[in-house]
Amino acid sequence: MTLIILLGGFAAGLLGALTGLGGGMIIVPLLSIGLGVNLRYAIGASLISIIATSSGAAAAYVREGFTNIRIGMFLEIATTIGALIGAFIAGLVSTTFIALVFAAVLTYSAYLSLRPRVEHVSVADSHSWSRALRLDGTYPTPEGEQAYGVQRVGTGFSLMLVAGTLSGLLGIGSGAVKVLAMDQAMRLPFKVSTTTSNFMIGVTAAASAGVYLRRGYIDPGLSFPVVLGVLAGSFVGSRLLTRAHPRRLRQIFAVVVLLLALEMVYKALTGSL
């Protein structure tokens, strides 16, 4: 059993790193649908493993200068409050309800991963909050340091509250909602939004993981193979990334995620979850 979980975690970590969409959306359905693990334990183990992958990836990105620590820290107020709300809701509702919300988020993520991402970078006329909070920054490009401004800070902050709530309820990184907030609303460059979102996932997941741990949702015998497997998988995945085809992988990811969503709805409605 432990070996199967370890391999499953490895596969989830690998796919998460290669598609850049995070392992949580794979690991929770894998454990619950695939291996018959109770959804609450599955979410607990997933939260722990996304802290691990986020910390590993963030350590590299922060040093390379892509991550905007100020934006991250400011938005973490929203994601951590959201995470506590999500963890609180998780304790009140049935696993059927959680599974249905999960399926909806999976479907939405599949849709987002197929749509082309449009980059809007703004240099001038930042939002007034951005100036007050010194959110504007620069990031390295092949042509040297590139400056960028930040728009609609309030909208971004509100969306992050939603992202945090989903993270605490479902045990995922909510990458899809974060992309919406940072690409669409705040208009950050891709490299900055992706790496800053990743940077925030660890702190967000830590907020809900604390609550999950105290509630007894985090099982050591289940969690250790999941964490170590996901960590190994994402490490290998990040090494393979230069040779992979992200577009094709995203298409595969979207199909896998849609199938998982259907299976989840079916299992939730027949009460076998």
Partner 1 sequence: MSRSWNDLDIARYVSAILRGGLLLSAVITALGGVLYLMRHSGDTVAYRTFVGEPPHLRSVVGIVQGAARGDAPAIIQFGLLLLIATPIARVALALLGFYLERDRRYVAISAVVLIILVLSLLGRV
Q: Which residues here bind partner 1, judged by CB under 8 A?
A: 1-2, 35-38, 40-41, 48, 51-52, 54-56, 58-60, 62-63, 65, 67, 69-70, 73-74, 76-77, 80-81, 83-84, 87-88, 132-134, 202-203, 205-211, 213-225, 227-228, 231
C-alpha to C-alpha distance for 227 and 74, rounded to whole angstroms: 28
Query: Rounded to whole angstroms, how far apart are CA atoms 24 and 227?
Result: 11
Q: Give me the least distance between CB of 97 and partner 1, in Å please.
A: 15
DSSP codes, the chain: -HHHHHHHHHHHHHHHHHHTS-SHHHHHHIIIIIT---HHHHHHHHHHHHHHHHHHHHHHHHHHT-S-HHHHHHHHHHHHHHHHHHHHHHHHS-HHHHHHHHHHHHHHHHHHHHSPPPP----SS--HHHHHTT--EEEEETTEEEEE----HHHHHHHHHHHHHHHHHHSS--HHHHHIIIIIIS---HHHHHHHHHHHHHHHHHHHHHHHHHHT---HHHHHHHHHHHHHHHHHHHHHGGGS-HHHHHHHHHHHHHHHHHHHHHHHHTT--
Half-sphere exposure of 57 (CA within 13 A, CB side): 36
Residue 210 vs 249, nearer CB to partner 1: 210
In the complex with partner 1, which residue's Cβ is closer, 32 or 151?
Answer: 32
Q: Which is nearer to partner 1, 39 or 159 (CB)?
A: 39
Q: Report, in Å, the least distance between residue 163 CB and partner 1.
A: 15
Minimum Å distance from CB 122 to partner 1? 21
Provide the minimum distance between the beta carbon of 71 and partner 1 in the complex, in angstroms, as a whole number: 11
Report, in Å, the least distance between residue 42 CB and partner 1.
8
Q: How far is the CB of 114 from partner 1 (least distance, A)?
A: 31
Among residues 133 and 265, whose Cβ is nearest to partner 1? 133
- CB nearer to partner 1: give 123 or 213: 213
User: Judged by CB, which is closer to partner 1: 199, or 253?
Assistant: 199
CB 219, min distance to partner 1, A: 6
Q: Toward partner 1, which CB reaches closer, 20 or 229? A: 229
